[in-house]
Amino acid sequence: METKILDATFDENIKLCAEIIKSGGLVGVPTETVYGLGANALDGNAVKKIFSAKGRQPDNPLIVHIAAPSDVGMIVRDIPDTFDILAEAFWPGPLTLIMKKCETVPDSVTAGLDTVAVRMPEHPAMLSLIKKSATPIAAPSANLSGKPSPTKAEHVQKDLRGKIQYVLDGGNCRVGLESTVVDISGEIPQILRPGGVTYEELAKILKNVKIYDAADDSMTEAPRSPGMKYRHYAPKARMIAVVGSPEMTAKYIRQRFDDSDNTSENSGVSKKIAALMFDDFAAKNQAVVTFGACTDYGAQASGLFDSLRKLDSMNAEVIYAQVPDEKGLGFAVANRILKAATAVEKL
Ligand code: TXA
Ligand code: MG
């Protein structure tokens, strides 16, 4: 099967994709966070195809996308008051809410959990697709499992070539990182995955909000956010996250480039290295990809996954990455870099 890119600015292309969703097929879909791999969320067989196309573990549940906050009643029972507060403040947008699920939601969507993840995305093409499909759409990020999430239609086409008929092209993703996942099924809202809506924004609206730490789980309890236990977003190379002030991490990485030049001259045995660096601290080297200034977390977020894919195509053996401060959106950027890394160097 050929995988074609369809321009989402044409309504007939959205209609074509809606027909595929209705008939139980898969489509690559644009959202403001990252591209998704969509299927009819209420069709268990359609949802299973998502797992095989991505090579995703069946114990990792999916997010269900709806076109209006009032549609939440289709898939959620016991809607808590916090829902109205958060939907009012952040929907449509990069916030996913975990609540108790209805019987209508197939087990394949929720990996057998009694909760479901729901989000109303902001991208107009995705909202239109959900409406035209007349069903909620389940969609994980449209990358092969373990790879960086796609932020351009071409990324989806590359990862899922031959596995889906169409990718609906809605342009480059505005946010560039996945949604923030917040569990509101219990007493105190808990951030399970940092993302496009920041902790600071949530804390302004909610009296109490916790950041979930996997280390807090007792050994007997099932992980609260099953997806977070897998290594993610990873390029083929070994990736080393370098943590510290931008001055120190830049100096450390420059030194690695110098060392590798010297080794190759002297003995011919050098590791091919590359680096992900801040614009304002980048080493002058062809093997450097920049992803925004050190405090421009928005630019870092929108450029990160594309940068990881570029680094991947350089065929380096080791990639060094500068890690931003954990302020605002920087918290989610740092989370993704640390998840992609095989090792962390703290300076
Ligand atoms: O921005 C996004 O969230 C994108 C776009 C396409 O909407 N989607 C996305 O989906 O990132 P995915 O499947 O790559 O990540 C979903 C995350 C996983 O970490 C998963 O474990 C968690 O949400 N999740 C889903 N349902 C859950 C549930 N019932 N309880 C706890 N975590 C859940
Ligand atoms: Mg994903």
Q: Which atom of ligand 1 is least distant from the CA of 60?
A: 21
Nearest CA to ligand 1 atom 31: 225
Asked whether the beta carbons of 325 and 281 are under 8 A apart, the reply is no
The string of pLDDT tens digits covering residues 164-223 is 999 999 999 999 999 999 999 999 999 999 999 999 999 999 999 999 876 655 443 455
Nearest CA to ligand 1 atom 12: 140
* Ligand 1 lined by 21 (C-beta under 6 Å): no
- What are the structural domain ranges in the chain? 4-216, 238-346
* Ligand 1 lined by 151 (C-beta under 6 Å): no
Q: Please tell me if the domain spanning 4-216 has the same topology as the one spanning 238-346.
A: no
Give me ligand 1 centre to Cα 265, in Å.
47
Give me ligand 2 centre to Cα 285, in Å.
31
The string of pLDDT tens digits covering residues 324-342 is 999 999 999 999 999 999 9
Strand-pair category, 95-100 with 137-138: unpaired
* Domain 238-346 in CATH 3.40.50.2000: no
The string of pLDDT tens digits covering residues 105-126 is 999 999 999 999 999 999 999 9
- Across the beta sheet with 36-40, the strand order is 4-7, 166-169, 27-29, 36-40, 137-138, 63-65, 115-119, 95-100, 180-183, 190-193, 210-211
Residue with tokens 């929108």: 302
Give me ligand 2 centre to Cα 333, in Å.
14
Q: Which atom of ligand 1 is least distant from the CA of 37?
A: 6
* Ligand 1 lined by 28 (C-beta under 6 Å): no
pLDDT at position 215 is 60
Assigned CATH topology for domain 4-216: DHBP synthase (3.90.870)
What is this structure's pTM? 0.95
CA 86 remoteness from chain centre: 20
Q: Which atom of ligand 1 is least distant from the CA of 139?
A: 6
Give the ligand at the shortest distance from the Cα of 173: 1
* Ligand 1 lined by 60 (C-beta under 6 Å): yes
The string of pLDDT tens digits covering residues 64-90 is 999 999 999 999 999 999 999 999 999
DSSP 26-84: -EEE--SSS-EEEEETT-HHHHHHHHHHHT--TTS--EEE-SSGGGGGGTBSS--HHHH
Give me ligand 1 centre to Cα 258, in Å.
41
Token pair recorded at residue 151: 């932020």
Give me ligand 2 centre to Cα 51, in Å.
12
Give the mutation target among 141, 149, 174, 184 for probing the ligand 1 site: most ligand atoms within 8 A of CB.
141
